A and B are shown apart, each in its own frame.
Chain A
Amino acid sequence: MQLKDKMVGDILVLCPISSSIDASVSILFKGQIVDWIQKGYQRIVLDLSEVEFMDSSGLGVVISLTKTASRKDSLVLCNLHKAVRTLFRITRFDLVISIYDSLDDACRNMNH
């Protein structure tokens, strides 16, 4: 699964180029992001603008990433599609990880 990366200041922005994060790609997805975390990036924004669908395995990946990331709010999300946002809301996982409407919002909040 393709994962685009770019820097915005000292914030790493990762954008999965896949319309779906499900059981078939979740392991790969996790591995790629863990690689970035292990390189020492402390502030990571996961831009999910391409992801239209996420199932429990995708959610499972985000959960383990929040635990792998160095501190709370080290990893945040932005640009969630409606279905993905609903998944996070229903499971109340939006209480655990910060979710922003746009990349700008995410970066602005991370800079504080």
Chain B
Amino acid sequence: MSILVGRDTRLLVQGITGREGEFHSHAMLDYGTQIVAGVTPGKGGQSALDYRVPVYDTVVEAVAQTGANASCIFVPAAFAPDAMLEAADAGLPLVICITEGIPALDMLRVYHVLRAKGVRLIGPNCPGATTVGEAKVGIIPGTIHRPGPVGLVSRSGTLTYEVVQAMTDAGLGQTTCVGIGGDPIVGTSFVDVLDLLNRDPATEAIVLIGEIGGEDEERAAAFCAAEVRKPMAAFIAGRTAPPGRRMGHAGAIISGGAGTAESKRAALEAAGVRVADSPSRIPSLLREAGVR
């Protein structure tokens, strides 16, 4: 069992012939991900990844020809909103957008359109999702995992790798690891992924990696308190970050008293989540909670 991506994922890569898209598609194939199609407008009829993957001009054509059921997007920020809308329009149920630097107002529009169509969007500005031993969609290095019982959800990229590596080094393997992205407007929240991991029979424990800003972690804490009975550990980055560097007056109002690392830690601890001072402490907190 797994969540979001796995053996049944038939992946389409938008931007497969670009520098990033090609590099990471190779790594995904090497991991064992089924990449069935690529899309680059104007390069339809060609092939990518050493002739292993056919390239199409449009997503709708790629889906019709290959039965793709998920898309991973590597196109530049100026074109990424259109790419997400195209994937949704072609009926793909899962879209994972790696691209960073997409204007927030563009993302608002995309968010609501994809939601209305029932499309699961992960990201943008995220490292993707990996179900260990089955499929990796995105840019999380395949080498850091080992199979095991822990599911992970994070807002960061390299910090996620840090925590996963620490778990793997300590002999604690993972089911699925999901990076939801650090932008203000992302398609999937902590709560969405926690809900999936909570229902996944293979996932026995859950790790949450958060950071300052917004109130997604506080909402996650409320969800954990109400719904999650699996052991949980968390780390929140940004205890020493200077306040107010990116937030205007009204931005701070969004968070009210929340939004700081301390308030997020307190909310999670009150919900029974073990909160680590350092990523390296996550494995021992999981052990204390009885995970093996």
State whether these chains interact.
no
B interface residues (Cβ-Cβ under 8 A, vs A): none
